[in-house]
Structure 1
Amino acid sequence: MTSNKIVMGGPEADEKEGEATESITPGHLIEPANGDYEQFKKHATAAGPAEPLVATKAAYSGDPTTSAEAVEDAYANGEYMFAAGLKRFNRSLGLVFGGSNAAGAGADVATNANISEGDLLVSYGNGALRKYDPGNGDSPGAVVGRAREDVDNSGSATQARIVWEAI
């Protein structure tokens, strides 16, 4: 699905502005870099607890970006950025990890980048999402959302876009 918006619908999300502490692409799952929500980094704990907080390109309830390419433009370290705190049922345009880069151990396997609509999603640990895998020790408390479309990114080295819904 091609979209020029990161937050795609549902209840009004909470918006925040801050500073990127590393390269962050709109749609990445993010977390506070210093605990006070003034600086952000990609969510860094694979299958770790995460709030549904995503990088956006512009304050999503204001003027949306006008081109599909705009959501692909990453923020650089030190740049001013926008974030949205998703609420239950918010749909978002996120990123699935590149499965061909998987180490092949535990939950870090390419098949966890082959996502079907309805699959539960957790953080991959680099801002991207992957399929929830309880057989490899994923905790139900780490689930941030549910896939709203099929995306098979198991054979790709790059991240792919996915529409997902916060739960």
Structure 2
Amino acid sequence: MITITEATEHDLSIIRDIAYQTWPITFGEILSPSQISYMLEMMYSLDALKTQITTQNHVFLLARSSNTKEHFGYVSYEFDYKGQPRTKIHKIYLLPASQGKGVGRLLIDKAAGLAVDHKNGQLLLNVNRHNKAVQFYERLGFSIIGNETIDIGDGFLMDDFVMEKPLSP
């Protein structure tokens, strides 16, 4: 059985550890090792994660085993993204051993349900154009609505699809 709970500041090291285990496998064929290292430090240092929660209105949910308390992955989202009634999924990552077991769908479904409760009509997310997860998101009802290239500093770019999923109340 999988339990999904809202993360607190005490859980930030768990989120960071999952990211550090997941990113090299997820992005190893897409990004250079130096970009992976740069982005992990930029987005997953404990200070960066704390800022995301305390000042950027990101909410993290953790998926874990009800029995063993082992963590499988996380999702982060923000209601009312850019002042619109839309929820932005900023991050979703699962440990490699947890992929393909329905955990990602549970996390997306939980975020979608919370978004509907918050009167948000769409889920948005960005995904690297070369990430195999694009097909996963399409199976869950997301569509590509645009492209975005984001300069993240230090000479690195994020080359993403923007995807959207309409939500029903």
Q: TM-score, normalising length from structure 1?
A: 0.31
Of structures 1 and 2, the one with the larger relative CO (CA 8 A, separation 6+) is: 1
**Greater fraction of residues in helix:** 2
Larger Rg: 2
